[in-house]
């Protein structure tokens, strides 16, 4: 994991807010996916805030997109915010994921 990567987690009812900070790489992608998987059962929407990311490694995005199937069967909608949101949006759904 990038040494400066952090995820700040905040819950507001059925909404989960994840603020990503630092550099996003492959290990960071797995950390994000693990949090989403663990908390998806009690979440209707997960807001992933990307505005505090310093850099995004292309490999990290590939890992993230390639492993979104860990949420298959979960009814959580992913909503990406911030200047880097377009990079994170799944190609097939552009902003939400209902696997």
Q: What is the pLDDT of residue 73?
A: 86
- Helix H or strand E encompassing 19: strand 15-24
Residue 93 CA: distances (Å) to CA of 4, 23, 35, 53: 30, 25, 21, 22
Domains within the chain, CATH numbers bracketed: 6-88 (3.30.750.24)
Q: What is the pLDDT of residue 15?
A: 96
* pTM for the whole structure: 0.87
89 backbone dihedrals φ, ψ, rounded to 5° = -60, 130
Q: What is the pLDDT along the chain (99 residues), one digit of tens a residue?
A: 567 999 999 999 999 999 999 999 999 999 999 999 999 888 999 999 999 999 999 999 999 999 999 998 888 999 999 999 999 998 764 444 444
């Amino acid at each position: 994991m990038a040494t400066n990567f952090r995820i700040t987690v905040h819950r507001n009812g059925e909404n989960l807010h994840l603020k990503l900070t630092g550099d996003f790489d492959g290990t960071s992608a797995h950390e994000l996916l693990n949090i989403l998987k663990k908390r998806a059962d009690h979440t209707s929407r997960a807001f992933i805030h990307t505005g505090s990311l310093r850099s995004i490694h292309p490999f990290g995005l590939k890992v993230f997109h390639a492993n979104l199937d860990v949420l298959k069967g979960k009814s959580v909608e992913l909503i990406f915010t911030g200047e880097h949101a377009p990079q994170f949006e799944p190609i097939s759904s552009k902003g939400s994921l209902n696997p």
